[in-house]
Amino acid sequence: MLHMRVVSPPGRTDEVLETLESCTGVTNIAVLPGAARRPEGDLIFCDLARESANTVIGRLKWLETEGSMAVEQVDLSISRASEEAKEDAPGEGDDAVIWEELRQRVQGDSRITWAYLAFFAIATQLAGIGVLLNSPILIVGAMVLGPEFGAVAAICFGLMLRRWRLIGSSSITLIVGFSVGIAVTFACALVSSWLGWVNHSMLELNAEVQFIVLPDKFSFIVALLAGVAGVLSITAGKSSALVGVFISVTTIPAAGYAAVATALADWGAVGGAAAQLAINITGMVVSGTATLIVQRTFWPQVGQSAERGRKSSA
């Protein structure tokens, strides 16, 4: 279930209530007249099934300029009315994509922030150290820490809706992130080589992580699967599944490998790592975009069919 808070202009509260009461899957409606102060208006609360969110948000979209609307996840709901609302709503909650939520999320992920760059730099350095120490554990840690999938998902969303500005800003965010991560890791590896801490022989004794610079057809297949799983985990709100996606793709490790290989002048490894990075990002973008298109095309039809079926049986 989701919980919605609405601030409605006093003159349009009846319209809001009529909309909520007419939508399938909405329950626990409460009104506090005149309770809101900024903006001023009536405060309305309700719970709604996730499957009904797009319909309700779409019909109340005018509140964006005349009032206010906020939606949050309900972790626990103990109510027969809520259970009945979920049963009445068309489809299944895990299949429903709340498009406005996804839009705001990907727009946030397409911004360059200091935290984003810091995570990118740390993750890439961990990957570089893992390459030098032949440590798969460090490679996995770098994969989990890497923040790149948010920008990849934003590119997928932009491609689905043909929003070229979002595609451009997300691509820049991704390029800047990898550039900063590689530059910082390269600098650290170069200084370490001057100090005698690392040398080229360490790249010849890392059989456990050689897969990073040896891309093949399975690299692209894994990237395709990861793109599908990543988009599904974001749209369904399954954060645990997204961690598995991070561990599956070889993007941050490839960037880390390229950085240390450049510092140690191993140009063959640089080429292999660059190819691995390109294959993984391309695969995720292709399959992620296709997944969003399928969800946007077929979810409304599934919901409408279920709705018609319930009405006819009634």
Does CATH number 3.30.70.120 belong to domain 2-96?
yes
Residue 169: pLDDT band (50, 70, 90) is very high
Q: What is the mean pLDDT of residues 14-29?
A: 91
Residue 94: pLDDT band (50, 70, 90) is low
Q: In the β-sheet with 68-73, what is the strand arrangement from edge to edge?
A: 26-37, 40-48, 2-8, 68-73
Most confident of 68-77, 92-101, 264-273: 264-273
**Distance of alpha carbon 292 from its chain centroid, rounded?**
12
Q: What is the mean pLDDT of residues 67-88?
A: 86
C-alpha atoms less than 13 angstroms from C-alpha of 84 in its C-beta half-sphere = 5
24 pLDDT more than 90 = no
| Alpha-helical regions (H) of 146-216 | 148-161, 164-194
DSSP 91: S
Q: What is the mean pLDDT of residues 279-287?
A: 94
Which residues sit opposite 26 in a β-bridge? 48
Give pLDDT tens digits for 182-215. Answer: 999 999 999 999 999 999 889 888 888 988 999 9
Which residue has tokens 């790149």? 148
CA distances from 282 to 16, 199, 265, 275 (A): 44, 32, 27, 11
253 pLDDT more than 50 = yes
Give the CA angle between residues 164, 168, 171 to the nearest 5°. Answer: 135
Distance CA 50, CA 48 (A): 6
Which residue has tokens 């909405």? 26
Distance CA 216, CA 283 (A): 12
Give the other-Cβ count within 10 Å of 108's Cβ. 11
Residue 230 neighbours by CB under 8 Å, 6+ apart: 149, 152, 153, 242, 245, 284, 288
The continuous run of DSSP H or E covering 6 comes out as strand 2-8
Give the other-Cβ count within 10 Å of 236's Cβ. 17
40 pLDDT more than 50 = yes
pLDDT of residue 300: 58
